[in-house]
Amino acid sequence: MKNMPKWLGEAIFYQIYPQSFYDSNGDGIGDINGITAKLDYIQASGFNALWINPCFASPFKDAGYDVADYFKVAPRYGTNEDLCRLFEEAHKRGIHVLLDLVPGHTSDKCRWFKQSALPARNRYSDRYIWSNSAWERPQGYSWVTGNADRDGSYMLNFFVGQPALNYGFNKITDDRWQISYKDKRVKGTLNAMMKVMRFWLDKGADGFRVDMADSLVKNDEDKSATASLWRKVRKMLDRDYPEAVLISEWCNAPRSINLAGFHGDFLLHHGDKLTDYAFYRQNEQGSSAYFCKTAHVSARDMLRRYVEELNATKDNGYICVISGNHDVVRLSNFLDDSELPLAFVFLLTLPGAPFVYYGDEIGMRYIPQPSKEGGYHRTGSRTPMQWDSAQTNAGFSVADRKKLYLDIDRTDNAPCVRDQMQRQNSLWQVVRALNNLRHEIPCLQADASFEVLECGDGGVLCYARGGGIAVAFNPTDTQQTMNTIVSDKIFELGSATVQNGVTVLAPQTAVIFRI
């Protein structure tokens, strides 16, 4: 692919929610040094890239997605030096590290916002979006009024406490307070964000996963103006940091990749997307997800939009399929222990760069808890990593239970790393084996072609990768057949046998083979 860092084509990402991964200092909250301490585990699991949720200084009203200082690691996580050491130690192990960039808004505790909120005009006055008067709250947007000495209401990008940074407007509907995205008064916002990026790239970061990447320019229905800003960022990276990577939270690969210039688009679980059809979809009768063994659904609808976007972005960038993330209910809440391994075969044999959410590789569960730092229903997916059931707090922290960021899964059979590493055929063993296969076989990596060979009504799916490898599934609880002959198997769950000129797939079978 043109101007594509080679390492991204071979990357398998592991997402880390830092406050819940590993507590190295016993205060009950995970930290940067805790991530560094577990790099050997990450490497042993077959992951060679990380994405770390926001770790910058913040009041943590939204778990760090309300940034107060982009240039400083949050003290609860450690120091800038700790993060630089993480980069260094990760690189020694061949692991690349993406940070989470939040470009659409800051915290209202950010120095930029405090200056913008002053009555006297200054260099930050246009850094955020303000109405003309504290009595004006134009319709169609969320506003905060009466919270500043400046005579104006300020726009929110999401939660209260997250004022929208001003990248301008594409369509001007009220020129009293809206500024064109081409106006020099808002150019400083993008320049400031690129300064943030340069700061961390110079310190060893390998790029960024960009939060709400399509939210920059307002009144930008087709996102063309927002895309034009990201193309400027990509031009800067290609020129000065050619090995750095940008992955967008956009969930529209043609716009994100082709129009905006991202290296990859993060495939969230939206209603018409591959991941929803594969893992999460439900109807009145229960689960209608492809990998639910009792659903017996064709993969056609699951693949239709995905293949369209895959073809549309060919040679330009990657669609990044995810197991889950901090914003959705855990995968294990929808698929049982017999279904999860097949789902991972699918995830880790698709094109693009896959992302696995911490704990999904051991089948960690969704644990409902009171909302923490703006988590609400998402809080149950953010619980601490479970390392060893024999240790205090499952090995996450030696702190008193009351001090933990969130409580762990305390059921008797709660999944943990130590058990899964010791147990043959555990989910972790399956994920590790698949990761290693992906590293070893170029046809299973990001760039290799994808061609559907069979897609039956009974649930059978078979696709070729790169012309040399094929993957076949029967996720159902009944035996199925397919015409593609399986011979040279290199990985198998369940059983695939050839009988009378057809391949018989036992219930819940996934097989990778050479063609």
Whichever domain contains 63, its CATH number is 3.20.20.80
Do residues 358 and 283 share a domain?
A: yes
Do residues 283 and 402 share a domain?
A: yes
The confidence score (pLDDT) of residue 41 equals 98
Q: Is 109 within a domain? A: no
Q: Could you say which DSSP state residue 105 is in?
A: B
The confidence score (pLDDT) of residue 1 equals 65
The confidence score (pLDDT) of residue 67 equals 98
Do residues 388 and 369 share a domain?
A: yes
Do residues 67 and 214 share a domain?
A: yes
- Taking the whole predicted model, whether its pTM rises above 0.85 is answered as yes
Averaged over 261-265, what is the pLDDT? 98
Q: Tell me how far apart the terminal alpha carbons of the chain are, to the nearest angstrom.
A: 25
Model pLDDT for residues 301-339, shown as the tens digit of each residue: 999 999 999 999 999 999 999 999 999 999 999 999 999
Of 426, 442, 458, which closes a domain? 442
**Which residues are paired to 218 by β-bridges?**
169
Averaged over 422-444, what is the pLDDT? 97
Do residues 323 and 438 share a domain?
A: yes
Averaged over 225-232, what is the pLDDT? 98
Of 389, 419, 442, which closes a domain? 442
Between the alpha carbon of residue 417 and those of residues 39, 327, 388, 423, the distances in Å are 14, 23, 6, 10
Number of domains in the chain: 2
Q: Is 166 within a domain? A: no
Do residues 283 and 408 share a domain?
A: yes
Q: Is 431 within a domain? A: yes
Averaged over 32-43, what is the pLDDT? 98
Q: Could you say which DSSP state residue 57 is in?
A: E
The confidence score (pLDDT) of residue 383 equals 98
**b/e code 69-92 from CB counts within 10 Å (16+ = b):** bbeebbebbbeeebbbbbbebbee
Q: Which CATH number characterizes residue 471's domain? A: 2.60.40.1180
Q: Is 153 within a domain? A: no
Do residues 366 and 470 share a domain?
A: no
Work out the mean pLDDT of the chain and round it to a whole number. Answer: 97
Q: Is 144 within a domain? A: no
Q: Which domain holds residue 399?
A: 6-103+205-442
Do residues 46 and 62 share a domain?
A: yes
Q: Is 325 within a domain? A: yes
Whether residue 73 has pLDDT greater than 90: yes
Whether residue 2 has pLDDT greater than 80: no
Q: Is 18 within a domain? A: yes
Do residues 487 and 431 share a domain?
A: no
pLDDT over 90 for what percent of the chain? 96
Whether residue 156 has pLDDT greater than 70: yes
Model pLDDT for residues 236-259, shown as the tens digit of each residue: 999 999 999 999 999 999 999 999
Whether residue 84 has pLDDT greater than 80: yes
Q: Is 303 within a domain? A: yes
Do residues 387 and 508 share a domain?
A: no
Do residues 368 and 272 share a domain?
A: yes
Of 442, 467, 489, which closes a domain? 442
Whether residue 234 has pLDDT greater than 70: yes
Averaged over 406-433, what is the pLDDT? 97
How confident is residue 212, by pLDDT bands cut at 50, 70 and 90? very high
1-5, 167-171, 472-476: segment of lowest average pLDDT: 1-5
The confidence score (pLDDT) of residue 284 equals 81
The confidence score (pLDDT) of residue 3 equals 82
Do residues 344 and 468 share a domain?
A: no
Averaged over 186-195, what is the pLDDT? 98
